[in-house]
Amino acid sequence: MKFLRIKAIAKKEIIQIRRDPLSLAMAFMMPVILLFIFGYAITLDVNNLRTVVYDQDRSSLSRELVAEFRESGYFTVVGYADTHKDIDKYLDSGKAQVAVWIPNDFSKNINTGKNAELQVIVDGSDSNTATIALGYITAISELYSQRIMGGRITPLIDPRVRVWYNPELKSRNYIIPGLIAVIMAVIAALLTSLTIAREWERGTMEQLISTPVKTPELIIGKLLPYFFIGFVDVALSVIMAVFVFEVPLRGNIFLLAVLSSIFLFGGLSLGILISIAAKSQLVASQISMVVTFLPAFLLSGFMYAIANMPKPLQVITHIIPARYFVSILKGIFLKGNTFKFLIFETILLTFFGLMVFALANKKFKKRVV
């Protein structure tokens, strides 16, 4: 391998990238735009549940209960029903997701020490929201009953729960680091997916393969400028995560940079491999989108926990590099992981990168057919 040839190719690529400012702007804007869209769109937090109240009791106790709901911050009362029919209307039309019906004997039962019933109806068509809503409702009513009992009963078990790494349980904190991994998997492959195919399409490859240039020289020369762009993209994403989405970055930035580089190497090499195999820019960019976005989005564990997947799918997730990068980013961002906790992920990412690079070298033929 000769440094002079690698340099010549890298320099040529840089000139070509510079002469195409639109594509260059795209390369830098893409992570920012994607992170904005997905970062704000994907949230698993449930707030402001639209709630309709049917208070038949109309007592101070019932009003106090409604106030508890409202003040929790999870429920917004959007209306009051006067009949059962009204509740149906609110839920059917989607104006309300939760209906709280306080029967007319509610305060009477409490005051006479009987069991007071509270009917709650939740719109289960969004099952995730419904499950979380049910949890809130149970917690609020338990707290409320304990309070009006004046602590007459002490529970047998009193759990003191502390949440580590993400104490406010903000879903954004765990989605954004994973999202960076997904976005970078797509961008890395897209960046390089055009480079080889473009040369075949324009006919410049025929000239290049008639020279003594060696395949690794060609591939490394093409990787280098895009590696730089990819690295800037990662940096932009991290800056956005910290300053726009306020995700805590607890780990070492240097470690983050090194491990991101390893991931980028694999991702960019994958783009080159696709470009070599496809020989057409259109096909190459489409393949890159499909083979990176879908697996990274669905099977990397960035949102959907791998442990909850069926066994065969869990096995498949092991061959998806984004999976390891998701763990690395979540680990460094939220847990402040040091390298020794991320050795396994690093080894597999390195292995993946080298494999794809070797495959690209093998697949490229210095012949016209």
Partner 1 sequence: MRSEDIAVKIESLTKRFGDFVAVDNINLTVKRGEVFGFLGPNGAGKSTTIKMLCGLLLPTSGRGFVGGYDIMKESEEIKKTIGYMSQKFSLYDDLTVEENISFFSGIYRVSNSKKKERMEWVLEMSGLKDRKGAITKTLPGGFKQRLALGCAVLHELPIIFLDEPTSGVDPISRRNFWNLIYDMSKAGTTIFVTTHYMDEADYCDRLALIYRGKIIAEGTPNELRREHMKQNVLEIETDRFVEAMEILQQEGIEAAIFGNLLHAVVADARIDIPRVKRILESSNIRVARIEKIPPSLEDVFVTLIESA
Binding site for partner 1 (CB under 8 A): 2, 4-5, 7-9, 11-12, 15-16, 19-20, 202-213, 366-369
Give min distance, CB of 189 to partner 1, in A.
Answer: 23
Give min distance, CB of 317 to partner 1, in A.
Answer: 41
Q: Which is nearer to partner 1, 200 or 245 (CB)?
A: 200
Q: Which is nearer to partner 1, 10 or 96 (CB)?
A: 10
Give min distance, CB of 280 to partner 1, in A.
Answer: 17
| Nearest in space to 98 (alpha carbons), one of 50, 141, 56 | 50
CA distance 192 to 222: 8
| Nearest in space to 70 (alpha carbons), one of 140, 154, 169 | 140
The token duo for 359 is 């495959």
Q: Which is nearer to partner 1, 199 or 233 (CB)?
A: 199
CA distance 337 to 275: 36
Q: Which is nearer to partner 1, 18 or 84 (CB)?
A: 18
Give min distance, CB of 198 to partner 1, in A.
Answer: 10
Give the DSSP per-residue string, 73-141.
Answer: SSEEEEEE-SSHHHHHHHHHHTS-SEEEEE-TTHHHHHHTTPPPP-EEEE-TTSHHHHHHHHHHHHHHH
Count of CB atoms situated within 10 Å of the CB of 214:
15
DSSP helix/strand/coil, 50: strand
What is the three-state SS of 309-365? CCHHHHHHHCCCHHHHHHHHHHHHHHHCCCHHHCHHHHHHHHHHHHHHHHHHHHHCC
Q: Which is nearer to partner 1, 89 or 214 (CB)?
A: 214
Give min distance, CB of 367 to partner 1, in A.
Answer: 6
Q: Which is nearer to partner 1, 108 or 366 (CB)?
A: 366
CA distance 348 to 339: 14
Give min distance, CB of 23 to partner 1, in A.
Answer: 12
Give min distance, CB of 12 to partner 1, in A.
Answer: 5
CA distance 331 to 342: 8
Q: Which is nearer to partner 1, 15 or 257 (CB)?
A: 15
